Amino acid sequence: MFIITSVFTVIFVTPSCKKDVANSSYIAKAVVQAYLVDNQAISVYIKKEILIGSTDTTTQTIDNLVVKISCSGNSITLTPKGKGIYVSDSTYKAVAGQTYILNFNYGGTEISASTIVPTSPSGVQISASSLSIPPNTHNFSSVSPLVLNWNNPNNDYFLVLVQLAQSADTLSPIDSSSHFGRRSFFRNQPIQTNQDQISARDFSYYGKYNVILYKLNADYAALYNGSGNNSQNLTKPICNINNGLGIFSGMNADSLTVEITN
């Protein structure tokens, strides 16, 4: 099983008036980022929101909170690790099909959220276990894409992530003429179908890759698709945190391996 660590990050900027920055009585909201993965220990990251008009854009994490996770009537307190990170004991792991509730007090306000960990993707198949790409090629239309299929009778959300199975330092680049655009992982947009394609042009190195299919909750997919906010196009941040900002969501995954050869 794989853990999402950097698949998606977002800066929550409150689309409020600049007067809020000048108002010393205003308390910046807590921003939560947590993705519960089946059979993995729970980790929650908490930081302060960044207000429009603020000259301080440095991330300020929130430490020394009492952060609790509840499931089926049982509650645990997460261990603070510093830098805004709170984790469960390694023996306490998220379970598919279970509902989890997060809560903590910040600035005199109770912050809470809930999510369910989805069941594992089923029927996952890939069209080929290897793909041959000529060195230094720019004609990717001659290379058939990999096709990933799975079962999706309920129109659930899925996301395909592809990442190197080993360090890029030990591998040969497909395009040795340029260092531009090389990457060790890439992902597609969340979709509600039962099939996705992986283009040959997305691969940067020869070697083995893990092709990971994530089953997502709708709130995570909405956050991902709404990440195009910028200073010219601000909308209210998509979140599922009561009295706060951010995302507390569950996901599950299955994986296959593919090798890129020349």
Q: What is the CATH classification number for the domain harbouring 31?
A: 2.60.40
Q: Are residues 205 and 110 in the same domain?
A: no
Q: Are residues 62 and 107 in the same domain?
A: yes
Question: Whole domain around residue 82: which residue ranges?
Answer: 13-118+217-250
Q: Are residues 211 and 224 in the same domain?
A: no
Three-point CA angle 57, 58, 59, nearest 5°: 115
Q: Are residues 195 and 81 in the same domain?
A: no
> Is 1 domain-assigned?
no
Question: Which pLDDT score is estimated for 17?
Answer: 34
Q: Are residues 144 and 173 in the same domain?
A: yes
> Is 204 domain-assigned?
yes
Q: Residues 40, 90, 224, 251: what is their CA dihedral angle, to the nearest 10 degrees?
A: 20
- The total domain count for the chain is 2
Q: Are residues 101 and 135 in the same domain?
A: no
Q: For residue 175, what are the CA distances in angstroms to 120, 133, 191, 211, 224?
A: 36, 10, 30, 21, 30
> Is 237 domain-assigned?
yes
Look-up of token digits 């941040």? 237
Question: Which pLDDT score is estimated for 138?
Answer: 81
> Is 98 domain-assigned?
yes
Question: Which pLDDT score is estimated for 4?
Answer: 52
In tens digits, the chain (262 residues) has pLDDT values of 454 544 545 444 444 333 455 555 677 899 999 999 999 999 999 999 987 766 677 889 999 999 999 999 999 999 999 999 999 999 999 999 999 999 999 999 999 999 999 999 999 999 999 999 999 988 888 899 999 999 999 999 999 999 999 999 999 999 988 777 899 999 999 999 999 999 999 999 999 999 999 999 999 888 776 655 443 434 456 789 999 999 999 999 999 999 999 9
d(CA 139, CA 160) in angstroms, rounded, equals 24
pLDDT digits (tens, 9 = 90+) for 223-242: 776 655 443 434 456 789 99
Question: Which pLDDT score is estimated for 181?
Answer: 81
> Is 93 domain-assigned?
yes
> Is 56 domain-assigned?
yes
Q: Are residues 81 and 102 in the same domain?
A: yes
DSSP string, the chain: ----SSS-----EE---THHHH-TT--PPEEEEEEEETTSB-EEEEEE-EETT-S--S--B--S---EEEETTEEEEPEEEETTEEE--TT-B--TT-EEEEEEEETTEEEEEEEEPPPPP-S-EES-SEEE--TT---GGGSPPEEEE---TT--EEEEEEEESS-GGGS-BS-TT--TT--SEEEPPPBSSSEEEE-GGG--BSEEEEEEEEEE-HHHHHHHHTTT-BTTB--PPP---BTSEEEEEEEEEEEEEEEEE-
Beta bridge partners of 118: none
Question: Which pLDDT score is estimated for 125?
Answer: 98
d(CA 210, CA 1) in angstroms, rounded, equals 11
> Is 7 domain-assigned?
no
> Is 3 domain-assigned?
no
Q: Are residues 109 and 89 in the same domain?
A: yes
Q: Are residues 185 and 235 in the same domain?
A: no
Q: Are residues 149 and 242 in the same domain?
A: no
Q: Are residues 168 and 242 in the same domain?
A: no
Q: Are residues 21 and 95 in the same domain?
A: yes
